[in-house]
Amino acid sequence: MPPPASYLLRPLARWLARLLLRVQVSGQANVPASGGVLLAINHLGGADPVLVIGFTPRYVTPAGKSEIQGWPVFNRVAAAYGMIPLRRGEPDRATLRRLLSVMAQGGALLIAPEGRESLTGALERAKDGAAFLGLRAGVPVVPVAITGTAWKRVLPAWRRLRRPCVTLTFGMPFRFPAGLSRREATEQLMHRLASMLPPEYRGAYADDSGGLEPAAG
């Protein structure tokens, strides 16, 4: 069950996004209406999880960096919404069990395979955590492509009292074929994300030859 605070925070996230950004959203119908699912985003800036929380047509549990727990105000909001904190670079079996449990109980889980906001403004080499979760849970994976949210684009626009243009695109759901290694699954996922992004955002995955055709959801 979504936490009670989500019924307020989801529309609030949507309202804030519309207030501060010019948002173009597409593909929302690609998100399965029920059942376990993994949403995987490219991560450009702080607005990314707010966008996904606000515009995903169902409640989604975000996995976020544990540092947020030390931020005044934001820590309380994140906890009330149900964020699962991740200690980046540290193996944590208890956290993995929590993440898998979300999907096992029919929930939607949000994660950024790159593990941090991109330093280049384009895709960076991803960690294998998202692929591991998708393989282990056996649920559909929805790639979610975001553009325009990097701070170096957002802040100058705000200084000029303009709303920067951002896009949020939910891709077709797919499942990892049986027998893939974590690294192979990671490459497949990231090439799918790259194929949904403009060329200047593809970064480390600019050569899309590693992508595979979507499997049935």
Task: Measure the CA–CA gap between 31 and 143, rounded to whole angstroms.
Answer: 10
Q: Which pLDDT score is estimated for 203?
A: 95
The rounded mean pLDDT for the chain is: 91
Q: Which pLDDT score is estimated for 186?
A: 97
- Is the pLDDT assigned to residue 209 strictly greater than 80? no
Alpha-carbon separation of residue 152 from 17, 119, 127 (angstroms): 17, 10, 24
Break the chain into its structural domains and give their ranges: 6-198
Comparing CA positions, the residue from 97, 111, 118 lying closest to residue 141 is 111
**What are the pLDDT digits (tens) for 91-133?**
678 899 999 999 999 999 999 999 889 999 999 999 999 999 9
> pTM higher than 0.75, yes or no?
yes
Task: Measure the CA–CA gap between 205 and 113, rounded to whole angstroms.
Answer: 13
Comparing CA positions, the residue from 206, 184, 178, 177 lying closest to residue 194 is 206
Please report which confidence band the pLDDT of residue 150 belongs to, taking 50, 70 and 90 as the band edges.
Answer: very high
Minimum mean pLDDT range among 7-11, 20-24, 67-71, 151-155: 67-71
Please report which confidence band the pLDDT of residue 208 belongs to, taking 50, 70 and 90 as the band edges.
Answer: low
Cα 17 to chain centroid distance, Å, stands at: 16
Which homologous superfamily is 6-198 in? Answer: Glycerol-3-phosphate (1)-acyltransferase (3.40.1130.10)
**What are the pLDDT digits (tens) for 52-97?**
999 999 999 999 877 777 777 778 888 899 889 888 766 678 899 9
Q: Which pLDDT score is estimated for 192?
A: 96
